[in-house]
């Protein structure tokens, strides 16, 4: 079963999360601060991190940044702070989801399942390799390359790109993309989509300000350039 690292300095909360997660069959590791979390991640195989924003020492945003430099390990950020800026910054750094405290345990479990499902989709022979210009997407291996150069994407960024690329010319609203990529149980606002589109453009476009692949339908949403 999947191994989840809970990073939070609230001992009572960690105790409750451990109990709930273990009842669902997960193996749970815990860390009380960012430094301890990074040490655990260097020595343990972990499938998902529940990461508190306000940590002693190295804060959650810095931990997220350090993780993203080395892997696309799924991250759900937990925080008592409700300001939009913290949410946007967390998503900018590559967090896969964001949940404000206090939260409903059932909602958290649903989000964990959704994130793990997206991150762990097994490659199947029916999946395609999409080649458009100098962009290549190998869905069996969940790998993306531009002009032969590997592009590192988070799980959400990949899912968003592949959805758009396999449906060229189709315009998706932000809300529709939220439902398809984040899941119907996701209760965040649709600016999440804008953040991920911007990050994708910075990674795959030659000029992010004049994109060739992911285009904007003003007032509606986004679509992948139809190359036919």
Spell out the per-residue pLDDT of the chain, length 228, in tens.
689 999 999 999 999 999 999 998 899 999 999 999 998 988 788 899 999 988 998 999 999 999 988 788 899 999 876 656 666 777 778 888 888 888 899 999 999 988 888 776 433 334 567 889 999 998 878 899 999 999 999 988 998 999 899 888 889 898 888 877 887 566 667 788 999 999 999 999 999 999 999 999 998 899 999 765
Fold of 3-119: Rossmann fold (3.40.50)
The structure tokens 């190295």 sit at: 58
What pTM value is reported for the model?
Answer: 0.57
List phi, psi (to 5°) of 100.
Answer: -90, 140
Going from N- to C-terminal start, the domains of the chain cover 3-119, 129-224
Task: Give the whole-angstrom CA distance, residue 194 versus residue 3.
Answer: 31
Fold for 129-224, please state it. Arc Repressor Mutant, subunit A (1.10.10)
């Amino acid at each position: 079963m999947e191994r989840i690292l809970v990073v939070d300095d609230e001992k009572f909360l960690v105790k409750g999360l451990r109990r709930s997660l273990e009842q669902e069959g997960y193996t749970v590791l815990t860390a009380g601060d960012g430094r301890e979390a990074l040490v655990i991640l260097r020595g343990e195989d972990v499938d998902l991190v529940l990461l508190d924003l306000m940590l002693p020492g190295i804060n959650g945003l810095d931990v997220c940044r350090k993780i993203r430099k080395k892997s696309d390990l799924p991250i759900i950020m937990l925080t008592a702070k409700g300001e939009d800026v913290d949410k946007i910054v967390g998503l900018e750094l590559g967090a896969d989801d964001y949940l404000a405290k206090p939260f409903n345990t059932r909602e958290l479990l649903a989000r964990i399942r959704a994130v793990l499902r997206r991150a762990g989709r097994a490659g199947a022979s029916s999946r395609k390799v999409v080649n458009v210009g100098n962009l290549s997407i190998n869905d069996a291996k969940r790998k993306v390359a531009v002009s032969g150069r590997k592009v590192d994407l988070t799980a959400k960024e990949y899912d968003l790109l592949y959805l758009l690329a396999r449906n060229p010319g189709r315009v998706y609203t932000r809300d529709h993309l939220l439902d398809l990529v984040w899941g119907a149980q996701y209760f965040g606002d649709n600016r999440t989509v804008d953040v991920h589109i911007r990050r994708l453009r910075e990674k795959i476009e030659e000029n992010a300000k004049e994109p060739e692949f992911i285009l904007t339908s003003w007032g509606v949403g986004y679509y992948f350039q139809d190359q036919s």
